[in-house]
Amino acid sequence: MVTIENEKLKAVISSKGAELQSLINKETGIEYMWSGDVAYWGKHSPVLFPIVGSLKADTYFYKEKAYHLSRHGFARDKIFLKDQLSLDEAVFTLTQDTETLALYPFAFILRLRYRLDDNQLTVTYEVSNSGYDELLFSVGAHPAFAVPVVKGTDYDDYYLNFNSTEQLYRWKLQDGLIADHAVPLPTQNGILPLGHELFYEDAIVLKHMQSNRIAIGCTKHAHGIHFNFNHFPFFGIWAAKDANFICLEPWCGIADSVNSNQQLTDKEGINNLPANSKWQRSWMVECF
């Protein structure tokens, strides 16, 4: 484990999966991350790479060859090299190996950079193409934030506040694949009240929404988070059934659709990175 901290926040990250485990406000003692209770879901903030979501039949085709990847790819289960740059910043690095090349025939460097600044944690995904061919990949975040965060409050006391009041449309999942139609998400003035029943039909999947900030707030106290993200065309919101957390998931990539032809070059949301090029995206969480 690597711990980074400043005067206001302390974060703990595991080298397995470069996974954020804990984010604590040192002034209030509030833990903002889900506990990882295995009775519901034993993770905290897995890194999704080189795919997001599920492939049709767990299979894709590249250059006329079939490859098999399980949901969300392999990065979350790999050991990253760790480098603590300072008291408040750390970097975790993963590259291809014999095991990954059998599943995903690309050379890559994936870095996760964690940095604290005042009451904000910034998480940056850096992808480099270290091979000779174009790199095809997806990247996604999956942080699970504790709800409730204050004793004496319930899950139903909390809500999501989108910074755009647009009508949002939820793309339903059918056996982990994106359905061919969407339904309106019941927000009012950008507010979505939380309730466990929201996730009884799996994740809420959104495409190309205007919002780039979502707050988790509560009707009974003033503590919560602002979750900021830019240039992520897809977004997932999820919780395990009746579990006390909510995942806010900015994605550069998405699960296969039910009508997918399974060709990696045609995959919705796939990112194309030329040789010797780099790609970067970040999300930030402000704790209050």
- The per-residue pLDDT for 43 is 97
Q: Give the model's confidence band at 85: pLDDT under 50 very low, under 70 low, under 90 confident, else very high.
A: confident
The structural domains of the chain, ordered by start, are 2-287 (2.70.98.10)
Cα distances from 6 to residues 44, 77, 86, 286, 288, in angstroms, run 21, 29, 10, 14, 15
pLDDT digits (tens, 9 = 90+) for 126-184: 999 999 999 999 999 999 999 999 999 999 999 999 999 999 999 999 999 999 999 99
CA–CA distance, 102 with 68 (Å, rounded to integer): 9
- The per-residue pLDDT for 194 is 98
- The per-residue pLDDT for 189 is 94
Average pLDDT, the chain: 97
Q: Give the model's confidence band at 55: pLDDT under 50 very low, under 70 low, under 90 confident, else very high.
A: very high
- The per-residue pLDDT for 151 is 93
121 phi and psi, to 5 degrees? -105, 125
- The per-residue pLDDT for 139 is 98
- The per-residue pLDDT for 93 is 98
pLDDT digits (tens, 9 = 90+) for 201-258: 999 999 999 999 999 999 999 999 999 999 999 999 999 999 999 999 999 999 999 9
Helix/strand/coil (H/E/C) assignment for every residue in the chain: CEEEECCCEEEEEECECCEEEEEEECCCCCECECCCCCCCCCCCCCCECCCCCCCHHHEEEECCEEEECCCCCCHHHCECEEEEEECCEEEEEEECCHHHHHHCCCCCEEEEEEEEECCEEEEEEEEECCCCCCEEECEECCCEEECCCCCCCCHHHEEEEECCCCCCEEEEEECCEEEEEEEECCCECCEEECCHHHHCCCCEEEECCCCCEEEEEECCCCCCEEEEECCCCEEEEECCCCCCEEEEEEEECCCCECCCCCEHHHCCCCEEECCCCEEEEEEEEEEC
Taking alpha carbons only, the member of 30, 67, 28, 70 closest to residue 48 is: 70
pLDDT digits (tens, 9 = 90+) for 110-123: 999 999 999 999 99
